[in-house]
Amino acid sequence: MTQTHASTTAPTEQEVSAIQGWATYLTDVEQRLGPYVARAESRQRAMIYLDGLLRPAERKNSWQLADICGEPTPYGFQYVLGRADWDADAVRDELRTSVIPHLGDPEAVLVLDETGLVNKGCHSAGVARQYTGTVGTVENCQIGVLLGDAGQLGHALVDRELSVPKAWANDRERCRQAGLPADRPCATTPQLARQMLARACAVGVPAKGVTGDRVDGADRRLWVWLEARPQAYGLAVSGQA
C-alpha cells in the first residue's frame, strides 16, 4: 500500500507578512474596542467573532462562524451580540473614527439604505408587521436604517439605527423587556436618516454627496435638510412623488 504525505511547503515571505499584518490589525481592533465591553470573557468572545467574520465563508451566520472558529455551538457569539454588557453606540463611534483616516475620500458618497429582517417572533426589539423592501411585501419584521460611506478607497458602514414602531413606543414594559431605552422615541426611517447624516457631518466624515432609496426620496423634510448642505444629493422617487 502506498502512503502519501500532505505538502509541507513553507509559507512565502509575502504570506508571512500578510499574517503578521492581520495579527497586528486584530490587536489594534481589540485595544480600540476592549474598553467598551465590560467583561474580559465577552471581549475575548467578541474578538473570536470578528476573526470569524474575516475568514472565508459562504455565509456569516453565527452557526457557520462557530464552525469555522472551532466553537462547538454559536451560543457564545449569540450571548455577546444579544445579552452581553457592551456599549454599541461607542463601538459605532470608534468604527467611524477609524474609518475616516483610512477610507476618507472627499469624493465619497454617503449611502442611506433601509433594510428589513424578517422575524417570526414578537419579542425582538421593534418587530412588527410592516412593509420591507427585502421581500417586497408586508411581513413581521424589524426595520433598520444603515448609513454607508463609499468611495474609491473602499466602503464601510458608519452608522445604524433601529426603527421603533408606534406600537412599541407606547408600550414601555415591552420596550424594557426587549432592552430598548426608556427614552427611545418613535421615528420614521427618514427621520432616522437625517439623524445619522447629521452625526456624520458633525464628526467630519468626508463626502461629496448623499444618495438614498424611494423611502428617503418621499420625505420632503429630508430634501429640505439636504438642500441646506453643500453636498450634492440624489434620491430615488416613486411614480407618485
Residue pLDDT, tens place only, 126-159: 899 988 888 888 999 999 999 999 988 888 889 9
Contact of 197 with 147, CB cutoff 8 Å: yes
Task: Go through the domains of the chain in sequence order and give each one's CATH number.
Answer: 13-82 (no CATH), 103-235 (3.30.420)
d(CA 213, CA 112): 7
Residue 1 clears pLDDT 50, i.e. is over it: no
Indicate the pLDDT class of residue 167, thresholds 50, 70 and 90.
confident
Question: What pLDDT, on a 0 to 100 scale, did the predictor assign at position 240?
Answer: 63
At how many degrees (to 10) do helices 13-33 and 40-53 cross? Answer: 140
CA separation, residue 50 to residues 26, 30, 177, 199 (Å): 9, 10, 28, 25
Does pLDDT of 219 surpass 50? yes
Reply yes or no on whether the pLDDT at 241 is more than 60: no
Mode of pairing for the β-strands spanning 109-118 and 209-212 = parallel
d(CA 101, CA 202): 16
> Quick one: cell of 83?
445579552
Cell numbers for 24: 497586528
Supply 75's cell numbers. Answer: 451560543
- Give the torsion through C-alpha atoms of 18, 22, 27, 28, to 10 deg: 100
pTM: 0.80
- Between CA 122 and CA 130 the distance in angstroms is 13
